[in-house]
Amino acid sequence: MHTVRVSIVAGLAISCCVLIVRPLCGQAGVFDNAPAAPQTFPNYAQKLVNQELETHPDVLVIAFHATIPGESINRVIAINKAQWNKFQWRPSDDIDTDTVISQKTIVQVIPKTHRMEVHMPLRIHDGSTIATLVCVWSFKDEEEAPELMRKSQSIRDEIAPQVTSLAQLIGKPDAANGK
């Protein structure tokens, strides 16, 4: 019985190490959609997602989509931790890709699921768009859409001054702030 207890403890320790190490490396496994080139993770975008989720607990999902240098597709570069296994590094859908190209905000109200998605271009100080920022909300009535749109824009406006480049967004969280 003592041997079994040691094996379980050792197994838990190994599982914990795998869950901690793989997200930090951003490699395949936990993130099956990992880009070909190794990426820093958690990155500065993830730090911003976590920060905004703490400030705005009523938002269901906050995500960043961007094209990693050297790639030709948009990917999810940061999202709520609960969504990592399904969405982290996954190629973006057409709406998230089109948001960067069209430079327009796209709002999807989905009455069947009582969700609203707001896809917004994230612009830096020189006006160039470097990513798509997505906020997903739950609503009771479709008439809440204008207020949820305003809240999404507010989150984007809180984030934008903190981002100076795509390299910063996908880089180390501490390096982004000069720490």
Q: What is the pLDDT of residue 124?
A: 94
- 12 domain residue, yes or no: no
Residue 34 inside a domain? The answer is no
List Cα–Cα distances, 24 to 58, 81, 119, 167, in angstroms.
Answer: 27, 13, 27, 17
* Residue 52 forms part of a structural domain: yes
Q: What is the pTM of this model?
A: 0.77
Confidence of residue 37 (pLDDT cuts 50, 70, 90): confident
Domain housing 76:
40-176
Angstrom distance (rounded) from CA 143 to CA 128: 32
Residue 171: inside a domain: yes
Residue 124 lies inside a defined structural domain of this protein:
yes
Q: What is the mean pLDDT of the chain?
A: 81
pLDDT category at 33 given cuts 50, 70, 90 is: low
- Looking at the chain, the number of H-run helices and the number of E-run strands are 7, 5
In 3-state terms, what secondary structure has residue 64? Answer: strand
Give the residue with greater pLDDT, 85 vs 59.
59
165 domain residue, yes or no: yes
Instruction: Identify which of 103, 104, 32, 35 has the alpha carbon closest to the alpha carbon of residue 69.
Output: 35
Rounded Cα distance, 167 and 179, in Å? 16
- Domain assignment present for 3: no
Q: Tell me, yes or no, whether 32 lies in a domain.
A: no
Number of domains in the chain: 1
Cβ-contact 82, 53 below 8 angstroms? no
Please report, for the domain that includes residue 142, its CATH number. 3.30.450.40
Nearest CA to 135 out of 125, 145, 127 is that of 145
Identify the bridge partners of residue 134 per DSSP, sorted by sequence position.
63, 119
